Chain A
Amino acid sequence: MNDLGEGRRNEEFELFDQLYARLRRFAAVVADLDVDPDDLVHDALAATLGRCALSDLDDPSAYLKRSILNASSNHRRRRATARRFLPHLAGPTVTVDDYPSDLSVIDRLAPTDRAVIFLADVEGLGHAAIAQELGLSAAAVRKRASRARARLRRELGGTEPARDNEPRVDLVEHDVSRTGED
């Protein structure tokens, strides 16, 4: 990356600048509450630029999102390992911002499930598009979305987990044209 010329570097930055807002939102969702989303974006960007330029990627956004998701999963795994093997060293629970309690419910989902729900319900992507973004199969995305929604309903007080093909009364309106292949 350092070998790039000034002009190419500016192009790279402009590309990142265009992606930044969406990447940060994505990172904020998939990361646990004690993790700064910008740290994840930073790590993903550094790891990616260590390998190639952003413009060399077919889909820089998808690549960086996967990197962010992996980094978040790694962080969650390391923390779980520390809790399991070093309970006496773990100390008090990490202090997090005071968010509404129902927001912390989302934190109980796996980062990948969070990412699926976020991309589907907030970003409005269809299952096929999510699958391409996260490197999963469409079926896996569908299954993860269904299970994650069911769990959220249970955690938030709902009793009947809705099936994936039922009307999503609590979800954002979908762009049917993009989900038609589901």
Chain B
Amino acid sequence: MRQLEERAERGTPRGAANLWAEVQLEAGRGSRGSASHRSRIGREATYRIAIGVLTVAVLGVLVASLVVPPRGQTIESPAGRGGDTEVTPSGEPARILVDGMGLRVLHPPVDPNRENSGFDLEETATWRIFADPDRPFEGPIVGVEILDGGGFRPWGVNLAERSLSDFTDGLTRDGEVWSMASASGLRQVAAFTAPRFDTPVGWQADFEDEAQAVTWQAETHEGAGIWVWLVRVLGQDTSGSTARPLEVVGRPGVVVTPGEAGVEEVMWADETFVYRLTAADIAGNTSLQIDAGDLVGRLGVADEDTWSQAVSASGRTSTPDLLLSRLTGFLTVVLAVAALAFLIRGPRILVLIGPLAVFLWMLFGPTSSVLAVLLLGLYAGSWIHRRRIGGRRATGEPRSGTAVDG
């Protein structure tokens, strides 16, 4: 008793008035434990978390854009040439998918210094193309292959009932200038030299379903555009060949039908790339004469998520997907640790974060699962923060609080 009495009286009391004044002063400054103080801490924590998440997101986008040029930008197509089409003006071609076919494999462009997959035209020096400048694919098109030795080889397409000589007879040369007789109505619409053919084949994607395979190629062009590919497709075989205009995914295109046993091909161009689509293989290695109109109707420009999924399914992983996959893997590890921590010291319900993230990943792919993980992480962080600053143990509030009126 005496000891307790002595203990109860130990020290020098500061007095009720002093303590009251101190508390009032601290309350005025937003002291620890006050509701306003906790609210302020909560807001600050929220800001910091939001800034952190934003920083990570921005850094992620920057890294992705540094590794792979941005995709999915929409640019306006040339006036009068169809609607807007989603293309990638810098770096990569449009993300074309074929309805009903799965992307089997995607080839990146080869390095021209290591491999030259261009045409070998040997002595060819220059190509000149003559056509109606206003509607080049709606009438005869005549090409002249000018050889280094001084001779030339003509070819023609869309000649209908006329012969190639009807046009070549009116062909004249004045030095380096070649011209067609004005009566033919043809003017030079393109001229390009042999090195253009040395451009390696660009991106190539193969599509297939059970019975049919389609190959799509994209190559950067430098002015000559679709004419280069027309020359490649036609070669020297011009008897009965036709080239008719066709809009392909909102872009000006051409369907080329070689006169003899060739395969119909579809070509189109945007500001950066010339695209070529062929469908030649079916099961059994026999040829298939495709219906270009049907095939073109099945082409579509895919959005980035769809394209990423198609690329992933094709067995080739693009760099952004790889980064995303690694990020998701890292977050999964973090989640596993967090789930273990919650199992020991937190609300048991948060243990479900791990299985939920895996489920979302399987169901919707890595992008949505990362988003879900971030949201759940924010919630977990918020919970931990609230527990630290607002818990009864932290503020000294009685565990089983005395009833409060009202």
Interface residue ranges, A against B (CB under 8 Å):
1-2, 13, 16-17, 20-21, 24-26, 28-29, 33, 36-38, 41-52, 56-59, 62-63, 66-71, 74, 97, 99-100, 102-103, 105-106, 117-118, 121-122, 135, 170-172
Contact = CB atoms under 8 A, between A and B. Distances in A.
Say what secondary structure dominates the interface of chain A: helix
B402 A59 contact: yes
Listed residue (A51, A97, A170) with the most chain B CB atoms within 10 angstroms of its CB: A51
A130 to B, nearest CB: 14
A171 B4 CA distance: 11
A46 B34 contact: yes
Contacts of A42: 19, 22-23
A44 B4 CA distance: 22
Interface string B382-406: 0000000000110111111111111
Given A16-B16, A170-B1, A67 B10 contact: no
B27 A50 contact: yes
B10 A52 contact: no
B406 A56 contact: yes
A70 B399 contact: yes
B188 to A, nearest CB: 87
B11 A37 contact: yes
Nearest to A156: B3
Contact of B4 (A21, A36, A100, A121): A121
18 contacts: A2-B24, A20-B19, A26-B8, A29-B7, A45-B19, A45-B23, A46-B27, A49-B23, A57-B403, A66-B398, A66-B401, A67-B397, A70-B397, A103-B6, A122-B1, A122-B5, A135-B402, A172-B1
Contact of A118 (B4, B35, B397, B398): B4
Interface residues of B, number: 44
Contacts of B37: 50
B13 interface: yes
B23 A99 contact: no
A16 B19 CA distance: 10
A20 B1 CA distance: 21
B405 A46 contact: no
B10 A37 contact: yes
Listed residue (A44, A68, A105, A121) with the most chain B CB atoms within 10 angstroms of its CB: A44
A46 B4 contact: no
B3 A103 contact: yes
B402 A63 contact: yes
Contact of B395 (A20, A28, A38, A47): A47
A106 B402 contact: no
A74 B7 contact: no
Nearest to A71: B396
Given A56-B405, A122-B8, A63 B3 contact: no
A29 to B, nearest CB: 5
A16 to B, nearest CB: 6
